[in-house]
Amino acid sequence: MTDKNGIYLSVDGDDAVRVIVGNGTKIQTDRIKVSDELIGELEYDMSNYEIVLEHIIEETEPLDDIGAYSEEQFTAVSDTALELADGVRENDLTTGVLLRATIHKLLDFEDDGTAMCLMTMMNAIVEALREPLDTRYILYKYLKSRSEFDTHEEWLRTNILPEGYFFRRDYPCEIINYDLFTNEPKLSQVFFFDNYTDYFVFLFLKFAEQQRRVLECPCCGKLFVPKSNRAEIYCDRVLVDGKTCKQIAPKLARKLKQRNDPLFEEYEKAKNRNYKRVERYENANGNSSVMRLTFNEYKAWLDKANEIKRLYLQGLVTAKELRNIIEELN
Ligand SMILES: [Zn+2]
């Protein structure tokens, strides 16, 4: 195993072990669950990241009408990009390491100092930074759609296989002479990643192999993978005061039924309406006639809206506050 910047990964069913190389250090992390890593990644709020990225894109504009670029401008863009990657790393180690590895690889390219080269490099950096945003939406879309199908096969056939091109990537692997899980001598396979999309799409494929279900928790609105085949409705996330959705939700659901409040119906409608807007925007490929609502803006809204809905059910916020959040993106 060489020490390139990135993530070395060994997988066994839903278990995985990683060696993370970055910023001059090499760490072997605890065992992770493929399903947790995948679903957990979609939980991070990247709306701030999106704002910084827009700022970086502005910085890549040419300095005059004939398309001049300066070395200083290029340095500022690449420095901000690396800072952004390190900022992400504080909360989301995986994404931070992968972003930095990708940017480093781009910067290793021979820079001949011409305007053309500077422009190409800056565009490549912007593309690399944009990737997590696009990929998160696509993975969310696939995982969320699983609950629309009764069987794994039906889901694969209808939603996943027709999009095969998205999964056709290089997943470089090497054979090493010890087991990453046990450290015992053994010939074992290790995959290497220095790109966000490759890593998470690989995890998605490993997850799909397990043929498990994905549900949307009606209490917190987040995706989860049921632990067993029992009829699980709610997730195990700790929602408030150390209590999980599973513990709190039945009581809240009873209240919801008793109150028969039209606001809840409006809330559900807003959720669907806004998600449809995301689909239109994300599929429009920058077509400016489509109203903007990015996946990350939607996710940030959804998490906040769910929280307010719960507080309203518990009598802790007013109807006006719930209405405000329902209408916030209109
Ligand atoms: Zn939940």
Q: What is the pLDDT of residues 272-327, one digit of tens each?
A: 999 999 999 988 887 778 899 999 999 999 999 999 999 998 889 999 999 999 99
What integer best gives the mean pLDDT of the chain?
A: 91
State in Å: Cα 221 to ligand 1 middle: 6
State in Å: Cα 76 to ligand 1 middle: 41
**Percentage, residues of the chain above pLDDT 70:** 98
**Mean pLDDT across 178-184:** 90
State in Å: Cα 255 to ligand 1 middle: 17
Q: How far apart are the C-alpha atoms of 216 and 219, rounded to whole Å?
A: 9
Q: Where are the alpha helices (H) located in 63-160, listed in sequence order? A: 71-91, 93-107, 115-145, 152-155
State in Å: Cα 223 to ligand 1 middle: 8
* Between 228 and 302, residue with greater pLDDT: 302
**Residue boundaries of the structural domains of the chain:** 6-206, 223-327
Structure tokens at 181: 């899980």
DSSP calls for 214-279: -EE-TTT--EE--SSSS---S---EEETTEEHHHHHHHHHHHHHHH--HHHHHHHHHHHHHHHHHH
State in Å: Cα 233 to ligand 1 middle: 9
State in Å: Cα 212 to ligand 1 middle: 18
State in Å: Cα 269 to ligand 1 middle: 19
Instruction: List CB contacts of 63: < 8 A, sequence separation 6 or more.
Output: 69, 70, 73
State in Å: Cα 30 to ligand 1 middle: 25
Q: Is the pLDDT of residue 113 over 70?
A: no
State in Å: Cα 263 to ligand 1 middle: 20
State in Å: Cα 40 to ligand 1 middle: 13
pLDDT at position 2: 72
Least confident of 84-98, 110-124, 189-203, 310-324: 110-124
